[in-house]
Amino acid sequence: MAQWPGTQGRSRGYGKGTGGERGEGDASWISVSDLMAGLMMVFLCIAVAMMRSVMIEREKIRTIAMSYKENQLAIYESLQREFAPDLRRWGATINRDTLTIAFNNSDAMFETGEAQLNASYQVVFEEFFPRYMNVLAPFRASIEAVRIEGHTSSGWGQSSDRHAMYFNNLRLSQDRARSVLRFVYTLDAVTSYNRWMMQNVAAVGYSSSRPIYNADGSENIDQSKRVAFRVITNSETKIHSILEESF
């Protein structure tokens, strides 16, 4: 079939042009896909790094938690070994979970409504507190604070105003805790601990906010009225420090 002059060349040129355009398009799509793949790898590396960081911090917290349990148990066992034979005659108990030694029924320690420690319990604390400091001495690096806590029962004389009762008991519990701290701080046997005590031992009054209950749910009046010595370890502070460093 006859063709116009130059038609065959133009036809071939058109075909090459079309083929060339497709080749360039394919190349550009390959380039974009490579870019996307690269970005995905970058994001994956970031995600892996973040997951690794989280796992490291979690492991640190787990290690502290395990150390806390071991330290808590060691302190409890040391207190138990030292004081178990004396608890009954002192009217005291040791709580393993809170590392608290509670001297129950503060009516035996103070006159009703008063904060002056009586003579019989001055003798008790003269015996107890130097030994208490000696037991805690090996653990001082892990101790955040020692609190001498004053607690009362929920009643106050004949008053029926619960707000007045709470604040009257708050003042009384604070005064009693301070009275005990002042007495034990001045003992000759703990002079070497005075500097540490100034930095780490505090007197706190809780009023009637933490009563002790009987099995039937009623308040145990005698045990609610108590003075307690509680050890607080620094594991929580360490965990907070790790979390702050993470952010």
185-221 pLDDT tens trace: 999 999 999 999 999 999 999 999 999 999 999 998 8
Helix axes 119-136, 7-83, angle to 10 degrees: 140
- Buried-exposed string 101-130: b where 16+ CB fall within 10 A, e elsewhere: bbbbbbeebbeeeebebeeebbebbeebbb
Q: How many Å apart are CA 149 and CA 169, to the nearest integer?
A: 13
Contacts for 225 with CB less than 8 Å, ≥ 6 apart? 104, 105, 106, 107, 151, 152, 153
175-184 pLDDT tens trace: 999 999 999 9
Residue 58, Cβ neighbours under 10 Å: how many? 11
Q: How many Å apart are CA 143 and CA 10, to the nearest integer?
A: 93
Q: pLDDT band for position 145 (50/70/90)? A: very high
- Tell me how many helices (H) and strands (E) the chain has: 7, 5
Q: Which residue has the higher pLDDT, 81 or 61?
A: 81
CB of 233 closer than 8 Å to CB of 144: yes
150-169 pLDDT tens trace: 999 887 655 668 888 889 99
Look at residues 240, 237, 146 and name the one whose alpha carbon lies nearest to residue 199.
146
Q: Supply the Cα-derived Rg of the chain in whole angstroms.
A: 37
**Amino acid letter at 11?**
S
In this predicted structure, which of 55-64, 117-126, 149-158 has the lowest mean pLDDT? 55-64
69-78 pLDDT tens trace: 888 899 999 9
